[in-house]
A and B are shown apart, each in its own frame.
Chain A
Amino acid sequence: MTEKKLAIIATKGTLDWAYPPFILASTAAALGYETEIFFTFYGLQLLKKDLNLQVSSLGNPGMPMPMPVPVLLQALPGMQSMMTMMMKQKMKSKGVASLEELRDLCQEAEVRLVACQMTVDLFEMDTKEFVEGVEYGGAATFFEFAGESDICLYI
């Protein structure tokens, strides 16, 4: 059985959208896939040692709310941090892994984490804030792996 390959592009930097890349990559690695995640634009936030990701209901009418809250009230100061806190509590109570744990599991399983050099430069991000072991590359670097992949996901 030759090793299958999974390539993921992670483009989002919110708490909720940080989960799919790390869940799928860690699981794929456990199933024997060679896996690479390419982080670009807001997805670069997922590489920071200190993950301070937030979740917002603004512009997201699909988010389940414990009670209906009018959109204008959702924009009030403090609402985003409250929602983030509630989401984190809910995840913890349901036994959902923390992002740090999933990311560690990915790294243990040798999932390659590649940061998009162009967007790192664009946002003037301090790469010292990133976890160890991050590689840097551009679109061509991504295609080198993705072109050989069995599954390719844009998240």
Chain B
Amino acid sequence: MADFDRELDASGLNCPLPILRAKKTLADMESGQVLHIIATDPGSVKDFEAFAKQTGNELMSSGEEGGKFTFMMKKS
């Protein structure tokens, strides 16, 4: 079983789309659920940190593999 509730593939999208898509997906989720995000925009690394800080959603982890950036975000 996957350790997240929803997945968002924002590959190929550039600023600010990954953030906007994540916001939209989180809006349909329950508090405490986890969203797994995949992005290719290098700017998204800093942006998701800033997004988490300002919205109160918890950025549980972020990583990079094979040119893709992944994030786990828990809805507040």
Contacts and interface: CB of A to CB of B under 8 A. Distances in A.
Interface in B38-76: 40-41, 51, 54-56
Interface residues of A, number: 13
Interface residues of B, number: 15
Candidate in A1, A31, A102 with the most chain B CB atoms within 10 angstroms:
A31
B32 interface: no
Contacts of A102: 16
A94 to B, nearest CB: 6
A30 B52 CA distance: 11
A85 interface: no
Interface of A: 1, 23, 26-27, 30-32, 94-97, 102, 105
Interface of B: 12-17, 19-20, 23, 40-41, 51, 54-56
